[in-house]
A and B are shown apart, each in its own frame.
Chain A
Amino acid sequence: MNDTLRALEQQYFALRSNRDDLLSACTTGEQRQQVIDTYKEAQTNYFKAINAVFDENEPQIKALTAEVQLAQKQLDTALQDLKNIAKTLKVITAAVRLGTSLVALLV
């Protein structure tokens, strides 16, 4: 893939840099049309080659985004769970304290 991209890049850049010189050297309208067609085709090929590199990894991007989101969810849950332990213990403490007070009233 990299070699193809490099080859298409070199072809397109060379045509672009010399486009006006090539057009000036043409003697007929047909020749000029040929230069334009070749230049535009090289341009499109290069744009497509860059996108092909990205397209190849698109499924990976989707999977990775889901993976990273899951990791964050796990982290948030873990932190919340840890905070909840302290909270739960405090609630139980209050409940036991209340129970002890009730027992004291009964005795």
Chain B
Amino acid sequence: MGLPWFSKNPLWRDTVAFVFALLLSLSAGCGDRSEAEKLAKSGVVTANNLADYYDSLARDTLDIWEMQAFYDALPADGLTAAQSRQLQMSTAQESLLQLRISALNRRARLARRLASSYSALLQLSSYNVSAEVKGAATGLGEELKVDFPSMPGSSLVASSLFGNIIGDLARLEQSRDIKKVAKVLLDAVTKLKAMFENEEEAYQSIERDRGSLFNDVTKYLIEHKLVIAWPLARKVPDSLGLEWASPSTPVEDPRTIAALIQVAKVRTLRLAMLSSAAAGSTEQSLASLLDGHRRILAGEPLSPDQILDAVQKAQAYLDEIAKLRGIKKDADKK
């Protein structure tokens, strides 16, 4: 038995060589797709966490607005009615707080749009175009076989070969699309991270403002005996099973008042510390996402654990902040 006819035919030999070369180059495309899927999933959670962080800052600003209005409306000694009014927040100052909330909302919206883009990338990378197109192209090949029968002596079936080539070309196109968009998103995340770093001091200042203001208000309420402050030191008698002597009456002793104000200060500043930690983890998650993009573009394997770890940390801090706010709301209800 001699060599098959196509091994002697230069045109057919070149075609077969081209198909093998194509299949070899496309084998990397399949890897790209699964790595892109991992990147897209990480991108969705990172961007959503970023949006949550901005939402949290917007809520803090609303808290500040509300509490500042309360604090500035508190009666101060020796002021005339006109001076008391001047102490209250002006319309211009309220507009500044409104502008801040709008700016934070715009950032949250941008982060959510980024999450939508990563969702679209996830859809594109998880779509099995090769199988879809290969099936359709094989069907077409079957139909065309009537007019274009297989080469004599060839073991390759024309229709399935046609299906394979079309399927692989589509996969190559998909891989190119993924890389093109991953590059655009890399650019967007790079700028977003730079902006986050640039604004981080302002984010943390908002948290410090909230903590300091809540502390000032708490101090006023305790000093003016408007609240029962004993629960601030609840842990000590609770741990020993002791009862308060007068749990329903405000604290009268000046030294105890001063001590309880210090406890309140620690509690109010805890929120600021949590938010600062959330900012750090959010920034870290953006940095890890950028690293993921660079790996995809360089054709290196991606490990999303690092990104997800940072996001989980940031989310845990935000959850803790929400929990502290929830405690405040529950206390309000009571």
Contact = CB atoms under 8 A, between A and B. Distances in A.
A93 B139 CA distance: 7
Contact of A90 (B123, B136, B181): B136
Interface residues of A, dominant DSSP:
helix
Nearest to A53: B202
A82 B220 CA distance: 65
Nearest to B213: A16
Contact of A48 (B96, B199, B212): B96
Nearest to B92: A44
Name the residue in B92, B96, B206, B220 with the highest tally of chain A Cβ atoms < 10 Å from its Cβ.
B96
A40 B86 contact: yes
Interface stretch (B18-26, B99-107, B225-233): B99-107
A61 to B, nearest CB: 6
Interface in A66-87: 67-72, 74-76, 78-79, 81-83, 85-87
Interface in B71-125: 71, 76-80, 83, 86-87, 90, 92-93, 96-97, 99-100, 103-104, 106-107, 109-110, 113-114, 116-117, 120-121, 123-124
A2 B201 contact: yes
A65 B178 CA distance: 20
Contacts of A63: 191
A23 B79 contact: yes
Interface string A74-107: 1110110111011101101100110010000000
A60 B117 CA distance: 18
Contacts of B236: none
Interface in A11-63: 13, 16-17, 19-20, 23-24, 26, 29, 32-33, 36, 39-40, 43-44, 46-48, 50-51, 53-58, 60-61, 63
Contacts of A85: 129, 133, 136, 166, 170
Nearest to B144: A96
B132 interface: yes
A64 B209 contact: no
A17 B140 contact: no
B100 A47 contact: yes
Q: How large is the interface on B (under 10, 10 to 19, 20 to 34, 35 or more residues)?
A: 35 or more
A54 B170 contact: no
A81 to B, nearest CB: 8
A82 B173 contact: yes
A71 B185 contact: yes
B1 interface: no
A65 B111 CA distance: 9
B205 A76 contact: no
Contacts of B209: 9, 13, 46
Given A13-B208, A36-B86, A57-B198, 14 more contacts: A5-B201, A5-B202, A24-B76, A32-B78, A54-B199, A57-B195, A64-B192, A68-B185, A78-B124, A79-B123, A82-B174, A83-B129, A89-B136, A96-B144
Q: 8 tightest A-B contacts by CB?
A: A89-B136, A75-B120, A78-B177, A54-B103, A53-B202, A47-B96, A2-B201, A96-B143
Interface of A: 1-2, 5-6, 9, 13, 16-17, 19-20, 23-24, 26, 29, 32-33, 36, 39-40, 43-44, 46-48, 50-51, 53-58, 60-61, 63-65, 67-72, 74-76, 78-79, 81-83, 85-87, 89-90, 92-93, 96-97, 100
16 contacts: A13-B209, A17-B216, A36-B87, A50-B205, A54-B99, A60-B191, A60-B195, A61-B107, A64-B191, A64-B192, A67-B187, A75-B177, A79-B123, A81-B173, A83-B129, A85-B129
